[in-house]
Every structure is written in structure tokens, then in C-alpha cells.
Amino acid sequence: MISEQTRFRILNSWFLIVHLGCLLPIWTGVSWFAVGVCCFLYFIRMFGLTAGYHRYFSHRSYKTSRVFQFLMALLGASAGQNGPLWWAAKHRHHHRYSDTEEDVHSPVTGSFWWSHMGWILSKKFVDYDDNSVRDLAKYPELRMLDWGHAVVLTLLGVGLFGLGELLAVQAPGLGTDGPQLLAWGFFISTTLLYHGVFTVNSLAHVWGSRRFNTTDQSRNNLFIALITLGEGWHNNHHRYMTSERQGFYWWEIDISHYILTMFSWVGLVHDLRKPPQKIYDEARQNKHSIHLPELPSLPEIQEGISEGIEELTAAIKQRKPASEGA
């Protein structure tokens, strides 16, 4: 078995490599085809995270077959954000302790940097509580995927490189090749995917409106909803987290909900859970009664960024002795 320390080093190194890979287009160039692949893989893998890892595995907000369950887990694993059991365990913990000292990624009790990506790089959260995902752990294929999620991501990268090299010979008019597809379809797409999802943890708890008076600071935010296929209606979600749809009203764009609804028409998913009428009644009652706290001032924002930089510097310094000792 790989030790916790080794996994911690691998995850941190991988995170850095993916971001550095975004510099590859300096040498590989760009083509419309490569950008299209980048956008397509961002979209489909975001769906794997939002509809799969989040709405299905974390909250069980709809039902599906065991085969389609595995396919959703496979798609989510291709996003490079660990396996389905780890993801669901951390998310369930977040809801249990949202915006308290026990929350794994709160910008309210911690810094913006920590909530956005600092916690991902922390050794503290490499492992997860098995007891919180016993309903998922009973499936051996999900346990296998949780352990070998990196294999899925590696195969995606290799496949993109191979496809690019094939197209360079078979369809040179597309103007792409292996290194270019790897740069845009893998590194850039994955990095955008990281930060798109991370905005839900960070921005969606400090920026936006509040329809429901929840015990945390979750917000509804159209911008975040657009880049995450519907996850930006975060205050809605925190009020009734078992609802499959997070945009509670027709004007709240929720692309993941639209796709899952179409899947239900052909029998791929079923029993999509909705908010009960009492939730809508509560929303009407709260319409004029919820007052948002004041937004942080510019000096406070600057102080938060400085704290984040200090945390990153301290983390790097703590890793150096460990590396030298190894």
C-alpha cells in the first residue's frame, strides 16, 4: 500500500504539473479543433462531477442502474479530482459542518485561498472517513475506481496524444497533433475544470444572493451556475440538498438538471427528487426578510490574499525538510 506521505507528495506534484502544462501551447500552438476538444472535455467532465460525483454519489438525489452508476463514476474520475468515495465523503462532511471550524473548505472560517484550493494540497485531507460512504463502498467496482482513479486520467492523456498524432497524418487540415491535443484537451481543460469546481467552495459562500436563511453563508450566483452547469445555485442546494435540481425556478439555469431530465425520458435515470412545496413557500416568505452581511472591504480582501500567500509559503517550507530527509 502507498503511504499517506507518498500519496500527499504525488497529489501535490501532480497538481503543479497540470498547471505548468498550461504553458505548453507556447510551443505546440493552437487550432480550432484543439480548443473545441478542450471545451468538450471541460463540459462532459464537469457533468461527470456535478451530476455524478455531486448530485448522485454525494446526495443520492436520483436513481439509476448499476451500469450507469459506474459510467458516471468513470466520467467523474476522468476529471482528476480523486475517486467517487473520497469526493462524496468530503462533500458530505462539508454539508454536515458547513462554514464552521470543522468544515474542510470554508472561506468564512478560513481564508479564500484555503477554501479554493489550499485544502486540496493539505496532507490533512488525503484520507477520508469510510463510515460516511458505506452506501457506496458496498460496490467493489466503485472501490476499485476510487483506488485507481489516476489510471483513468492517465488513459485520457495518452488517448488524446494518440488521437492527435493520428489526426496529424489522417486529417492534417485540422492543424493539430499529439502535443497540441495533450496541451489543450488535457492540461488546460483539466486546470479550468479544477478552478471551475473550486469556485463553488470559495466564491459561492461569499458572493451572490441568499434566498434561504441557512445556517451557513451559501449564495446563489448565476456566473458560477454557468461555468459549473448549475452548481451556482448554492443557497438553494444548502437549503434542500437532496433535490436533483439546484435551480429551483425556470429562470435559474441548471444544465446538469436539463441533461438528467432528458436521460430520464429514455430510462437511464429515474426518481429525480424535487424540492417540496414547503420549500417554495419558505422562499416566498423570505423574499424581503433576508439581509446579506456587508461585503469585505478592499484592505480585508488584500489581507486575505496575504494570509493565503503566507500559508502557501509555510506549507512549502514544511515540505522541504521532509523531502531532504527522504
Say if residues 88 and 133 touch (Cβ distance below 8 Å).
Answer: yes
Q: Could you give the angle at which helices 298-325 and 4-20 cross, rounded to 10 degrees? A: 120
Question: 117-131, 144-158, 217-231: which has the minimum mean pLDDT?
Answer: 117-131
- The predicted model gives 220-239 an average pLDDT of 97
Nearest by Cα to 233 from 221, 250, 251: 221
Give a yes or no: residue 322 inside a domain.
no
| Structural domains in the chain (count) | 1
Residue 9 has pLDDT above 80, yes or no: no
The contacts of residue 291 (CB under 8 Å, 6+ apart) are: none
CA distances from 210 to 116, 156, 245, 247, 249 (A): 20, 39, 17, 13, 14
For residue 295, is it within any domain?
A: no
129 within a domain of the structure (yes/no): yes
pLDDT of residue 325: 46
Domain-located, residue 178? yes
Q: What is the pLDDT of residues 129-143, one digit of tens each?
A: 888 999 999 999 999
pLDDT band at 317 (very low <50, low <70, confident <90, very high): low
Query: How far from chain centre, in Å, is Cα 115?
Result: 12
Q: Are 109 and 99 a contacting pair, CB within 8 Å? A: yes
42 lies in a domain? Answer: yes
**92, 57 Cβ separation under 8 angstroms:** no
What average pLDDT is seen over the chain? 89
Asked whether residue 275 is domain-assigned, the answer is yes
326 within some domain? no
pTM of the predicted structure, to 2 decimals: 0.86
Residue 249 is assigned to a structural domain of this protein: yes
Per the DSSP assignment, residues forming a β-bridge with 269 are 64
Expressed as residue numbers, the domain containing 120 is: 11-289
CA pair distance 271, 273, nearest whole angstrom: 6
